[in-house]
């Protein structure tokens, strides 16, 4: 993956987010977010977010972590990265291993940070039905 500016605050915040999720380090993952941040993963209604409004604020983001990240082993494979100001879009996929299954979520994964380099928005554009169709027993 080629990144225009690997030292950009948004890129570093995204990298910290992924590393903390892989390491199952909830405290580090949450510390990377601004207090008023939103996580939409995936965007729209899902079993993690039936109303499709996103997880807003640290308490809601913490609950999302417990539902989606804690029980899973994750692998990130981003093949393209586009940086624009305080935002970054990554094209690729995430492999999610949980409960004896592996699912591949292909899409666009975006981060936006504030002036302090804290994530204010983590948004994941992936289709639940396509990811579910990729499920295989491991």
Q: So where are the chain's domains?
A: 9-137
pLDDT score recorded for residue 1: 72
d(C-alpha 28, C-alpha 83), whole Å: 23
pLDDT tens across 56-78, in order?
Answer: 999 999 999 999 999 999 999 99
Question: Would you say residue 2 has pLDDT above 90?
Answer: no
Query: 9-137 — its CATH code?
Result: 3.10.450.50
**0.85 exceeded by pTM:** yes
What integer pLDDT is reported at residue 89 of this predicted model? Answer: 98
pLDDT tens digits, 82-138: 999 999 999 999 999 999 999 999 999 999 999 999 999 999 999 999 999 999 999
């Amino acid at each position: 993956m080629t990144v225009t500016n690997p030292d950009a605050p948004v890129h570093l915040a995204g990298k910290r987010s992924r590393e903390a999720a892989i390491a199952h380090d909830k405290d580090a993952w949450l510390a990377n977010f601004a207090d008023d941040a939103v996580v939409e993963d995936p965007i729209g209604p899902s079993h993690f977010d039936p109303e499709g409004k996103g997880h807003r604020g640290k308490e809601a983001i913490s609950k999302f972590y417990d539902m989606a990240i804690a029980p899973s082993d994750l692998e990130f494979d981003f093949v393209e990265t586009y940086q624009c100001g305080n935002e970054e879009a990554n094209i690729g996929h995430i492999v999610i291993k949980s409960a004896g299954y592996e699912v591949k979520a292909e899409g666009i994964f975006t981060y936006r940070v504030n002036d302090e380099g804290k994530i204010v928005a983590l948004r994941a554009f992936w289709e639940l039905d396509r990811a579910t169709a990729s499920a295989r027993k491991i």
